[in-house]
Amino acid sequence: MSDLKPEPKKLFIKTYGCQMNVYDSERMAETLGGQGYVETSSPDDADMILLNTCHIREKAAEKVYSELGRYKGLKAEKPDLKIGVAGCVAQAEGQEIMRRQPLVDLVVGPQSYHRLPEMEAKTREGAKALDTDFPEEDKFERLKSRPKAARGPTAFLTVQEGCDKFCAFCVVPYTRGAEVSRPAVQVLDEARDLVDRGVREITLLGQNVNAYHGAGEGGDWSLARLVRGLSKIDGLARIRYTTSHPNDMTDDLIAAHGECDKLMPYLHLPVQAGSDKILKRMNRAHTAESYLKLIDRLREVRPDLHLSGDFIVGFPEETEEDFQATLDLIRAARYGTAFSFKYSTRPGTPAAERDQVAEDVKSDRLQRLQALINQQQRELQDAMVGREVSVLFEKEGRLPGQMVGKSEYLHAVHVAEANVARGEIARVRIVDSAANSLAGVLN
C-alpha cells in the first residue's frame, strides 16, 4: 500500500466588491480546504475557479459573464475543471447564470456557502449544483473552525449581514436578506482566534454594521457593547467597523468613540446626497441637517475623527440645485476621503422606474464632486505633516529597508530604513504628504 498522499487540488478565487466579500472568500477557501483544496494565484493551474461576485456596481452581472467567457478555452483544455459563481450576482441571477453559461458547474448565494463541500462533491459526480436559498441554519455555526495558520496583522470579521433599510437604489436587501447579527460569543471567539494567529487590528463588517444586535450575556448586545467586549482581548490593538448607517449611530456608539482607546478615529458614514428631497426619494430616512449634527456630536467626543463617506450623483430627478446641496454638505462635513459613483439602475429597485438623469450630466457632476473631495483629502493629508501618528506596519515597501503600514486614521504611511517588524505598532513623525500616502520617520 502506498503512503503517498494525494496531490492537493488547487482553488482560484476572484473576489469582487466589498470587504464582506473578502471575508466570505477567506471562509469559502477554508471550507473547501477540508475537501483537499489549497489556494492558487492563477486560474490556469486551478482545479476549481470560484468567482465571488458583487451586485452593487454598474453592469455587475455582465462583468461576471464576461469573466466567465475568458475561461471557455481553459475548460475545453481541462474538462475536469470546476467553475463556480458565488456572492450577490449568484443570488440575484441563480438559474440564469447556468442557462447563459453552461460551463458553470456551481452557483451558491452568500448565505449558503457553508454548503460548498456537499455542492463540490455533487459536481465531481458530474451534476450541476445550485443553492441560493436563505437557509434557516446559521452558516457561521456550520463553518469549520478556522485553520491555525499565521495571519497578517489586519483582518476582517463579519458580525452582521443583510439590511432592512430598503434604500431605493440598493439590491442588498434582496441579495443578502434581512438583518441578521452573529451571537456575541461567536464573534469574540473568532476574534481571539485571529489574535492568537498574529492579528493586531480587526475591522468589523456588516451591510449595516451599527445595527448589530447579537445575542449575548444579559440580552442582545449593541455594536458599542461588542466593541467594548473586543477591547478587552489582550493583543488586539485596534478596532474598526464598516459600513454604518446614520440612523443607527446610537448614543452608546458615539460615546464609545470617545471612551474606547482601541476604537480607531476613522469612521465611514455614508450619506449618499445632500439634498433632503433626494434623500427622501432614496428612502434614506435622515436629512442633511441631522447627518451634520451627528458628525458634530461625534467630533465633540473625538475631535480628531477622520470621516469617510459615499455619494451617488445623478440619482433620478436630481437637479443642479440638489447637486449643489450635496457639495455644500461635503464642504461642511470635511471628509478625509469618500467614494462616489454615478447612479446606475438596478432592476427590481424602486429608483429604476423613475425618470433618469442624462449620462453626460451625471459625468459632469461626478467630476466636480470628486474634485472637491480630492481637494479636501489633499488638505487633510498636508495638515498631517509635522504630526506624530501611530502606525501598524503591515508589509515591506518597494525600496530596500522600507516598511509600509496604516495610521490610526487609515492613512497609508511609509517609512524608509524602518527597523520594525511586520505587525509592530510604532510612533511615526510625518515629514511629507503625497496624493494617497504619507512619508514619515520613526520617533
Give the distance, in angstroms, between the CA of residue 99 and the centroid of all CA atoms in the same chain.
30
Q: Which of 103, 297, 91 is nearest to 207 (CA)?
A: 91
Q: Is 402 within 8 Å of 416 (Cβ atoms)?
A: yes
Write the DSSP assignment of 160-221 as a string of letters. EE--S---TT--HHHHT-S-EE--HHHHHHHHHHHHHTT--EEEEE-TTGGG-EEEETTEEE
Q: How far apart are CA 16 and CA 341, in angstroms?
A: 16
Place of cell 475623527: 305
DSSP reduced 3-state for 130: strand
Q: How far apart are CA 142 and CA 161, in angstroms?
A: 16
Joined together, the cell numbers standing for residue 55 give 451586485
Cis before 287 (ω within 30):
no
DSSP letter for 43, please.
G
Would the CA dihedral through 391, 335, 170, 165 be positive or negative? Answer: positive
Cα separations in angstroms, 128 against 108, 118, 155, 258, 429:
11, 12, 33, 52, 57
Q: Is 236 within 8 Å of 260 (Cβ atoms)?
A: no
Whether 260 has a binding-site annotation, put simply, is no
Residues making up the annotated binding site are 18, 54, 88, 163, 167, 170
**Residue list for the binding site for [4Fe-4S] cluster:** 18, 54, 88, 163, 167, 170
